Chains A and B, each alone.
Chain A
Amino acid sequence: MALRRRRRARPVLSTVVTGGALPPPSELELSRRAWRRSRARRSTLVALASTLLFAVVAYLAVTRSPGWPRVQTTFFSASVALESLPEIARGLLVNLQVLVVGGLLVLVVGLGIAALRTLRGPALAPLRFLATAYVDLFRGMPLIIVLYLVGFGFPALGLQGVPTSPFVLGTAAIVLVYSAYVAEVFRAGIESVHPSQRAAARSLGLTHRQTMRIVVLPQALRTVTPALLNDFVALQKDVGLISVLGAVDAVRSAQIQVGQSFNFTPYVVAGLLFVLLAVPSARLADAVTARARRRQQSGSLL
């Protein structure tokens, strides 16, 4: 059965037979629009001026502080930055790999855990209990401790076939922790779908699984996308923590170079690279949130 969603169907606001376009705006309306435009221009100018003023004050305060010359050479040395950039960028590729692999795994595991937590019925209680315990454990434990436990504990077992690469173990630890967070986001989304939707689906004869897959999850996903993107931005920087296991990622290679030169600029470089990585996702999250809001209250003023 092909259940195809019609995406972005126009909201049916009216059944009016739209006979022609808008009449040309009146003089009054034109003057109102002009006034609003000038108002908007003025607000923009005020905002620009105040931002500029703040920037100048902040700049002067920092550059005139007594320790500034030293800070400048140890943290913001252009030559050190240029020198360290290639190594750090190479390290960032490792972070990106962890991000992509980890991110996908987190989605799958998180969704699975959430599905387990929403199961009903006494027979499935143990599964539900396990899922709850998992979420409690990994949401409560600091990521860095999970990294130590997984990264150093597993190899210490000396079992055959257990990977020892810090890349793999670091990714596993991150997936363990983030899946717990994302499972809760999914669960909130699933529970936000009104019960009447479930009733309607079951009354059509759909099974619990079909109801989830075809009716509940698509609606839940829509509500939780902004929250998921927010978690993704958080994940982007937390992948830098695998450096504690010795994986040579951006943070680690910055550390190595700091150790060699006793100049902290490589940390700043690595930090900026992570920010650059996060900015597109943050804007994407904003755009998705705005779109969801528009869909909810199309055309409303408030």
Chain B
Amino acid sequence: MEFAIEIKNLVKKYQNKTAVDDVSFSVKRGEFFGFLGPNGAGKTSTINALTGIGQFQGGEIKVFGFDVVKDYREARRKIGLSPQEFNIDAFVSPRDTLYYVGGFFGMPKKERVKRADSVLRELGFGHEADLPFRALSGGFKRRVMLARAMMHNPDILILDEPTAGADVELRHGLWKILSDLNKKGKTILLTTHYLEEAERLCDRIGIIYNGKLVALESKHELIKDGKSIEEHYLNLTTNGATQ
């Protein structure tokens, strides 16, 4: 079995606080993996360690067999990240943002222009593609985040709360896009606070609480006792996890 992501004994500390405490899990190629947990549980710290944004103090992370520290160039080419916060230059248009980011990943100019056009079309951009980021609606801003992650056609998409703040219509639209991407073979690691979203989209779910992985099962395994993911989640992240 080839793993898209392998995390072994990951430890991430912020001064005296251990944000991620000896966490190990793997994500299979082509899997839709839900990574859940309350605020401050260690989700974003894990994602940061995986993508290079954050350093970590212990453990090992591999992306399609490439170590994210030693073989960082190969590992990063495999990953597209859509972070929680809007971190795009407000004066740059979506088209230009994609053009530059494609360049960062080594795509030649002609290929970048073509790919940006295709990604923007796929995500429903019209004239919005050439407006500055600050002039876009919240929904289109979210789509730019996803488009940027998709631009270099990575094998893995890491989506940190991609539907946060999105209205119902947009959320359903994004679910459809994510589902299609997964069907086309993309491995997706999704964090979300909308448990309905995880239940609908994910094949397997990991729940992190207080820096420790407290559940790691397929969605069907998790809910076979008749309880919803939400019930399991609440049980694990309130009274169950610390026992």
A, B assembled together: no
A interface residues with partner B (beta carbon < 8 Å): none
B interface residues with partner A (beta carbon < 8 Å): none
